[in-house]
Structure 1
Amino acid sequence: MYNIYKKISLKLDILLQGKGCYSAIGKIWFRQRQELSVGSICEHFHTVAHELAHALGIFHTQSRPDRDRYVIINEQNAQRNQKTNFRAEKSAKCATYDIPYEYGSVMHYRTHEFSVNRKATVIPRNPLYVQTMGSGTGPSFLDVLLVNKHYNCLSKFRKFSGKQI
């Protein structure tokens, strides 16, 4: 997550007839407004939540700096224009806030996401998580906790979740 973007207000344009499903990760400093595209093929709550999380500064789970302990990435199986979505981010750019790796995150890809050859792009080191990856219907508890930690909103999080963090 980009720490620099915490204090910058975000003006988000949601394109409901966009040409795909996308958002930049965090506020783009040189733009007045940021686009979040929700094209006709991505009108599912899970997908919209995923792209909104990007706009808030959240990377893909399989891009965490510690991801190699949990998944194997087969970048050679990924579509050329999607390979950046499978690269590990440096810890200075992508904070985990001591939140455990979560296969069921709204930000985690399925095993064959963006495959060019029908072979797996992301393989969990523990095979019990194959069906869990990318299976969520919306943000998980840990997804919400991550955003709250990033924006330093833990008091509100505790109030609504009833959890002590």
Structure 2
Amino acid sequence: NEGLYVTTLYDVCMSDVGRVGGWQDLFLGKHCENFAGIAHELGHALGLVHTMSRSDRDDYILVDLINIKPEYAEEFEKHSPVRNYGIGYEYGSIMHYPQRSGFSSFDYLMIPFDSKYKNTIGSEMISFVDLTLINRHYKCTGKR
């Protein structure tokens, strides 16, 4: 028996990354009771990690690690190797935290090296790149 068990009983939004075998908990507490929060956690359940945790993130953004609240430091640890499938960094991913977030006592937690992305970090919508990563992860090519 395996599947995804969705619960709203706890004040937490989280999921394991990818299939863990057996029944997997997907917690959708009061802080993720909107499309963006639910889509973000489903992204984790499908195997997506935070974009700002990619092993190549330092090529695209500066993360102010000093000002991250200690209880959230794990959210910004780089995953290596992350399955990027040759897909470039997506500032507008549903899996990317916004430039300003509650994880810091400082205004700007992440600063893109390319200033044209300054106001586009993070999204409340699933991006084409998010869907492409999921399709490549599950080898969905559209061909039958």
Aligned to 1:105: 93
Per-residue deviation, residues 21-75 of structure 1 (Å, max 9, x unmatched): 111112235xx31111111221111111110010111110011111111001112
Runs (4+) of structure 1 exceeding 3 A deviation are none
Which runs of structure 2 are paired with 1:3-152 in the superposition (5 Å)? 11-29=3-21, 32-91=22-81, 94-134=82-122, 136-152=123-139
**TM-score, normalised by the number of residues in structure 1:** 0.80
**How many Å apart are 1:114 and its aligned residue?**
3.3
Taking the aligned partners of 2:2 and 2:85, their CA distance within structure 1 comes to 22
Give aligned-pair identity as a percent. Answer: 36
**TM-score, normalised by the number of residues in structure 2:** 0.90
Taking the aligned partners of 1:66 and 1:116, their CA distance within structure 2 comes to 22
* 1:114 maps to amino acid: G
Aligned length: 144
Aligned to 1:154: 141
Runs of at least 5 residues in structure 1 that lack an aligned partner in the other structure? 1-8, 160-165
Aligned CA-pair RMSD: 1.9
Taking the aligned partners of 1:127 and 1:10, their CA distance within structure 2 comes to 45
Runs of at least 5 residues in structure 2 that lack an aligned partner in the other structure? none
